[in-house]
Amino acid sequence: MKYKKIWKYQPYRTSRREQDYQQVQEFLKSGDPELWKALYESAYEIVYQCAYGMDFCRVLGPDDYCEIADEAFALCYEQLDRYQGLSQFSGWVGGYSKNVTRTRCRQVLTGLRYRRQLYEVSTGRMRDWDPLWILIRLERYYCLWKAISDISETSQRILEARILEKLSLRAIAQELNLTQREVKTRYEAACNVVRTRFLRYCTEKVEF
């Protein structure tokens, strides 16, 4: 004899995504730091793993991943009202973590490529074996770095951060303890000086 399965009422279970959304809304209303701490602790490991997983070339380290995770949380904290509960809170912050990691890796790889080029120039190990082209490039590099060496170390750092590392004016200002207006003014002045002196040095006879 077969018995029919007796249906029992199952209470509705709130999904993790809905729980996160409710918790965020409660925090926005009350500002209770314990609520933010709970959100932070529950999502931190996933946010950290998002940073680690995005570093395909493994150019960063554990300390960098921790710093990236904290930066991602800080970015989300500033715009917490934009979280609509369409994904889990950890996934939402993890998206910011991936973006920050992508930027960091690009900066590191750009720096590595930049140092490799300097090494090739300094040792004469060019990939292009045309002697005349090598000489022209050596002369241009020499004139460029001679022009850059004429400006202050602060201006050199601003050029490096802005052109090679693609940092924003805000990030450079925080690093050098300057205002964004000061960074912009120094950057424009440094570009003008380097451009003028580079052209002048290129017209002079270069001696190695």
CATH code, 93:
1.10.1740.10
Domain-terminating residue out of 73, 107, 141: 107
pLDDT at position 126 is 54
Cβ proximity of 150 and 195 under 8 Å: no
Predicted local distance difference test score (pLDDT) of residue 200:
85
Q: What is the pLDDT of residues 82-137, one digit of tens each?
A: 999 888 999 999 999 999 999 888 888 777 766 666 666 555 555 555 565 666 67
Instruction: Kindly state whether residues 134 and 96 are assigned to the same domain.
Output: no
Residue 5 has pLDDT above 60, yes or no: no
Considering the domain architecture, whether residues 101 and 131 belong to the same structural domain is answered as no
Q: Is 177 left (phi over 0), alpha (psi -120 to 50) or beta?
A: left
Residues 79 and 130 in one domain: no
Residue 94 lies in a domain: yes
Supply the CATH number for residue 166's domain: 1.10.10.10
User: Is the pLDDT at 50 greater than 60, yes or no?
Assistant: yes
User: Quick one: 100 and 160 in the same domain?
Assistant: no
Q: Are residues 130 and 86 in the same domain?
A: no
Asked if the structure places residue 77 within a domain, the reply is yes
Q: What is residue 119's predicted lDDT score, i.e. its pLDDT?
A: 61
The pLDDT, as a whole number, for residue 8 is 55
Contact 54, 106 (CB under 8 A): no
- Summary mean pLDDT of the chain: 82
Same domain, 25 and 95: yes
Residues 6+ positions from 172 with CB-CB distance below 8 Å: 157, 158, 161, 162, 178, 183
Q: Does 113 fall in a domain?
A: no
In 3D space, the residue among 80, 94, 83, 88 whose CA is nearest the CA of residue 47 turns out to be 94
Report the sign of the C-alpha dihedral through residues 24, 26, 28, 33, in that order.
negative
Tell me: do 89 and 134 sit in the same domain.
Answer: no
Q: Which of 76, 107, 138 is at the close of a domain? A: 107
**% of the chain with per-residue pLDDT over 70:** 79
Is the same domain home to 30 and 88?
A: yes
Give the C-alpha distances (Å, rounded to integers) separating 163 from 4, 43, 159, 160, 187: 73, 35, 6, 5, 10
Same domain, 87 and 138: no
pLDDT for 208: 47
Structural domain range at position 76 = 16-107
Nearest of 28, 110, 98 to residue 56 by alpha carbon: 98
**204 vs 58, more confident:** 58
Would you place residue 183 in the very low, low, confident or very high pLDDT band (cuts 50, 70, 90)? very high
Same domain, 86 and 154: no
Q: Are 101 and 68 in contact (CB under 8 A)?
A: yes
pLDDT in tens, 149-182: 889 989 989 988 888 888 888 889 988 899 999 9
Tell me: do 131 and 73 sit in the same domain: no
Percent of the chain whose predicted confidence (pLDDT) is above 90: 35
pTM: predicted TM-score of the whole model, two decimal places: 0.54
Residue 88 lies in a domain: yes
Q: Count the domains in the chain.
A: 2
